[in-house]
Amino acid sequence: MSKKYFGTDGIRGRVGQYPITPDFMLKLGWAAGMAFRKLGACRVLVGKDTRISGYMFESALEAGLSAAGADVMLLGPMPTPAIAYLTRTFHAEAGIVISASHNPHHDNGIKFFSGQGTKLPDEIELMIEELMDQPMTVAESGNLGKVSRINDAAGRYIEFCKSSVPTSTDFAGLKLVVDCAHGATYKVAPNVFRELGAQVTAISVQPDGLNINENCGSTHMEALQAAVLLGHADMGIAFDGDGDRVLMVDHTGAIVDGDELLFIIARDLKERGRLEGGVVGTLMSNLGLELALRDLDIPFSRAKVGDRYVIADMAERGWPLGGENSGHIVCSQHTTTGDAIIAALQVLLALKRRGETLAQARHGLRKCPQILINVRFDGGQDPVSHPSVEQACQRVTDAMGGRGRVLLRKSGTEPLVRVMVEGDEEAQVRRYAEELAGVVEEVCA
């Protein structure tokens, strides 16, 4: 069955526009509470990022969950992976994250975690959607859910992150700049690295509800690049608004993306005999990553874009590592979902073991030129399957003669068609990408 509300990463949209409205969230909280109660006594953890609308939606979800008889435990602003972890440790039936990840403040959304800290199974999402179409009821007064707040959530998560590295780990002498995107990592991330001995300069750690992801974080790296160069830091670490994506900057100011970070972690695991199986990337992963891993005899698989699909492929194959070039990196030896802080720690460990700088380590992977152009798509006929678009894609594919690839896909989180072309020569790749984007724009007009 197709889903009415849930996309590849929960429910997301513009605040005030259906379904990202208080009345919808009230009903969603009730429907989720009713669904989770079918599993038995029900406790649900609720966390959020720092955007201003989080207060409104937290209250609405809390009321709906309580009306369904579900107990609610509020975490306040916490990274998405922290909520996955705490849902497991508190033995709750589910966790809810109020966040639109890397989007600006005027967007928001809802993500769910199961009691195991994983994405909700499709059958539970479908159950919630079916309940959304039923009249809302209220439990008997004595059966209403109770609400409490977990005051030590940040400390618990900081200790969990630190437990992902050996207890002897000491990053003394390492000079870091950490960009928290005015988002959910603004309290915990700098403390994790400081408590492990690093010298940390924290930027974008003054959230005001409106500045999340604004010219900062993993989607806007310029401020971090400047801060690394100005402070003569060893590297910079950039998180997105909800803390499940990480990108880095080396000491020269060059951006190190998710493909390169994934390579550095995979190579380290391989060298230590800790990589059982291979690495899962996505359709957007750079061809250079696949070739570099092949040189190390590390198997590589491409899943559909989205951490849900990466995690599913990892579970199916029994592989411990996967991720996306956007910076979603999943280290399943340590946690159940993409965790930006834990991924960053694994990179720092790999560099320390090899005695390399980030700039040196990234040179083990030669990336193929890859051009991505986003084209706005506001509904109507699917442009990806339009005959003129398909013909243009085939024409470009043929012209590259097996030395490149073309990928067009609709975004799962934004109203965009992503046009990607990859090949040997950057000017040629850019020309082909612009040509295809022009065809898509004509179809979308």
What 8-state DSSP symbol labels residue 209?
A: S
Residues ≥6 apart with Cβ < 8 Å to 230:
none
Q: Are 280 and 310 in contact (CB under 8 A)?
A: yes
Rounded Cα distance between 298 and 267, Å, is: 9
- In angstroms, the Cα distances linking 201 to 216, 227, 244, 332 are 15, 9, 20, 29
* DSSP collapsed to 3 states, 44-65: EEEEECCCCHHHHHHHHHHHHH
Distance CA 59, CA 25 (A): 9
Give the separation between CA 69 and CA 63, rounded to whole angstroms.
Answer: 10
Q: Give the single-character DSSP code of 184.
A: T
3-state DSSP assignment of residue 167: coil
Q: Reduced to 3 states, what is the DSSP secondary structure of residue 114?
A: strand
* Ramachandran region, residue 267 (left: φ > 0; alpha: ψ -120 to 50; beta: rest): alpha
**Residue linked to tokens 């008997």:** 140
Residue 163 CB coordination number (10 Å): 11
With a CB cutoff of 8 Å and minimum separation 6, the contacts of 145 are 33, 42, 65, 66, 67, 68, 69, 70, 71, 72, 139
Give the number of other CB atoms < 10 A from CB of residue 42: 22
End-to-end Cα, the chain, rounded Å: 30
- Residue numbers annotated as active site: 101
- Exposed / middle / buried, residue 279 (Cβ in 10 Å: 0-12, 13-18, 19+): buried
Tokens at residue 17, please? 């526009």
Report how far residue 411's alpha carbon sits from residue 434's, in angstroms, rounded to the nearest whole number: 18
What distance in Å separates the CA atoms of residue 123 and residue 35, rounded to the nearest whole number? Answer: 10
If we measure between CA atoms, which residue out of 171, 152, 170 comes closest to residue 160? Answer: 152
